Amino acid sequence: MAQEKIIIQTTVNAPRQKVWDYYTRPEHITQWNFADPSWHCPTAKNDLQVGGRYVARMEARDGSAGFDFDAVYTEIDMGNHFTYEFGRRLATVEFKEVGEQTVVTITFDPETTHPIDMQRRGWQSILNNFKQYTETH
């Protein structure tokens, strides 16, 4: 039986184009793509086209752990949304402009190793970092 998708969301006080750019450009991704301050994202590559790869290196700052988040784009509507596949799972990221703000919604397939709530909290923490970085830079 397939598990229900996890949905997280934030509202960023910035126009959609800025939010899209900060979410997809590697020089910005490395500044916000971690769930906890004890981690960081030292490198990111993003080939933003269907079939293109998105790879972000996630590492503990003390060097004790790390992994590559590696995904392949399956659908892209530039400036609006994209879907990528990672480890037989899918995630869709949507950008909806509401007045002078942008609502970012991520819908993703959970994995089976960690509890759903832990996955939701981790992804939401990364999205919260993204919001804070985008609003202050």
Write down the pLDDT at residue 127. Answer: 98
What's the average model confidence in pLDDT over 60-67?
97
Nearest 5°: the CA angle 60, 9, 14 is 95
Question: Across the chain, which distance is largest between two alpha carbons, in Å?
Answer: 43
User: Token pair for residue 49?
Assistant: 């086209």
Q: At residue 122, does pLDDT exceed 80?
A: yes
Confidence of residue 3 (pLDDT cuts 50, 70, 90): confident
Predicted TM-score (pTM) of this structure: 0.95
* pLDDT > 90 fraction of the chain, expressed in percent and rounded: 98
Cα–Cα distance for residue pair 14/50, rounded to 1 Å: 26
Q: At residue 1, does pLDDT exceed 50?
A: no
Q: At residue 23, does pLDDT exceed 80?
A: yes
Three-state helix/strand/coil letters over 117-128: HHHHHHHHHHHH
Closest CA to 110 of 98, 99, 118, 102: 118
Q: What is the CATH number of domain 6-35+76-136?
A: 3.30.530.20
